[in-house]
Copies of this chain bind each other. A is one copy, B any other.
Amino acid sequence: MATDNKLSMVVFSGDMDKVMAAFIIATGAAASGMDVTMFFTFWGLKAIQKDSSLTGKGLFGRMLGLMNRGGIDTIGPSRFNFGGMGRWMMKTMMRSKNVASLRELRDMAIEMGVKIMPCQMSMDVLEIGTDKMLPQATAPVGVAAFIEEASHSKATMFI
């Protein structure tokens, strides 16, 4: 098993700043000519859902879907959120510095060929249907598919 010129990431976090860091690293690596694979699991799944999709069928699934509703634009940072203030503040600061938004970064990553893998088990537990995922994502996969990618990669990160 040779090492490919590849970078693999587990995107576990649903915090805006961490997801943003993940996409900045992904687009940076893709721009340097690397293959990039992102495996979205747990809270990270929100970043690759279609907009405003309410998810969940059972009571708990619906509760989680409600707390997590909205697409990538409603994700808050890991610090200083203050009920949405932090998100708005960070967005405003980033825009004034000409940094791409989270949505733009994600779309750029997809255009650059970054592979987007949703975690099947997390989708089951959080009751998120395949129809709620971005069409550019691969079919949902198990952890073995990610391990396979990581074992050929030059670098692997858990974010």
Contacts and interface: CB of A to CB of B under 8 A. Distances in A.
Contact of A28 (B78, B94, B147): B147
Interface size class, chain A: 35 or more
Contacts of A61: 93
B143 A28 contact: yes
Given A21-B41, A28-B146, A31-B144, 20 more contacts: A1-B5, A3-B3, A7-B150, A10-B157, A12-B18, A17-B42, A25-B146, A28-B143, A28-B144, A34-B147, A43-B78, A43-B79, A58-B93, A58-B96, A61-B93, A64-B89, A90-B125, A97-B125, A99-B121, A155-B156
Interface of A: 1, 3, 5, 7-10, 12, 14, 17-18, 21, 24-25, 28-29, 31-32, 34, 41-43, 58, 60-61, 63-64, 67, 78-80, 89-90, 92-94, 96-97, 99, 121, 124-127, 142-144, 146-148, 150-151, 153-159
